[in-house]
Amino acid sequence: MDHEEFNRRLTARIRDLIESFRLIDEGEHIAVALSGGKDSVLTLHVLADLREELEFELTAITVDEGISGYREHGLEAARENARLKKVELIEKSFMDEFGFGLDDVADGFRSPCIPCGVFRRWILNRTAHELGASRIATGHNMDDEIQSFTMSLVRGDVRKFSKFGPSLQRIHPAMVPRIKPLWNTPEREVGIWAVMNQVPVHLEECPYSHLSMRSGIKGFLNRMESDNPGIKKRIMESFRRIFRQVEEHGRIRECIRCGEPSSADLCKACELLEDLG
């Protein structure tokens, strides 16, 4: 398949998903969570190319978690792509919000991915809400989705199944719902797109990623796929068929400290901040 045809099919699939699941309505303000990695960069490019035709506003948010030797390169890629696509980029950091970077606190956790995800989601939600954005678009792709579902399965955490699917519902007025325009796009195709089009993306692995359960699950699924080609697509298909929106237990309220949406009195970010003293 030639270059142009590959690009056309890839973007047509993403556009189809946006339209069939009504991920974006006319007049909306979408905040793309831009890490500088290939997936969020593709999300930025596709949304930037669609914003006039579908009539929505687009802003990018990037979060510097404070991972030395790694995040700087992602930030450069985020800045360069935002400039190329003429999208305003808002830069936030753990240091400005919480007074420390991930490297400073990583040792205190079994997996640094836990505080990293909790604090990043906190910043993304608050920033998008302050901006008046109606949805946050992330670069989660089909492989990420299969990994997340498998992780929930092996942990017996069925509540997380409610996070499956290309769009998440607004469950609290201050919680900006997330959309995943690459939900049915395999990671491999995103890599091919970035290389073929020479897009400036950040391809390094996070130095902490080997400590996460996701990394083990990812390796397992990739080994299964190479021994049984097509297995990932079949797992995804099974998930789709059995997928039910699982009701979240309990009411979502506001964290008594920071005011962000939370299922407990203290949100996860404030709980971790308290543990860190």
Chain residues binding ligand ATP by CB under 6 A are: 33-35, 37-40, 61-63, 65, 120, 138-140, 144
Measured at the alpha carbon of residue 183, what is the angle toward residues 182 and 184, in degrees to the nearest 5? 95
Q: Report, in Å, the least distance between residue 106 CB and ligand ATP.
A: 15
Rounded to a whole number of angstroms, the minimum distance from the CB of residue 24 to ligand ATP is: 15
* Distance between CA atoms of residues 176 and 129, nearest Å: 6
CA distance 33 to 31: 6
* Residue 250 to residue 177: CA distance in whole angstroms: 18
* Nearer of residues 93 and 266 to ligand ATP, judged by Cβ: 93
Q: How far is residue 245's CA from residue 170's CA, in Å, rounded to a whole number?
A: 13
Nearer residue to ligand ATP within complex by CB, 205 or 265: 205
Report the nearest approach of ligand ATP to the CB of residue 70 (Å).
9
Residue closer to ligand ATP (CB basis): 120 or 135: 120
Q: Please report how close the Cβ of residue 64 comes to ligand ATP at its closest, in angstroms.
A: 7
**Using CA atoms, how far apart are residues 68 and 61, in angstroms rounded to an integer?**
20
Q: Which is nearer to ligand ATP, 69 or 277 (CB)?
A: 69
Structural contact between residues 4 and 109, judged by C-beta atoms closer than 8 angstroms: no
User: Residues of 220-237 as b/e, b for ≥16 C-beta within 10 angstroms?
Assistant: ebeeebeeeeeebeebbe
We find the least distance from the C-beta atom of residue 111 to ligand ATP, in angstroms, to be 13
Comparing CB distances to ligand ATP, the nearer of 63 and 269 is 63
Residue nearest to ligand ATP (CB): 37
Collapsing DSSP states into helix, strand and coil, what is residue 33?
strand
Q: Of 34 and 47, which CB lies nearer to ligand ATP in the complex structure?
A: 34
Q: Specify whether the CB–CB gap between 231 and 225 falls below 8 A.
A: yes
Q: Which is nearer to ligand ATP, 117 or 254 (CB)?
A: 117
Report the alpha-carbon distance of residue 264 to residue 174 in Å, rounded. 15
Provide the minimum distance between the beta carbon of 218 and ligand ATP in the complex, in angstroms, as a whole number: 10
Tokens encoding 146 = 């299969």
Least distance to ligand ATP, CB of residue 13, Å: 17
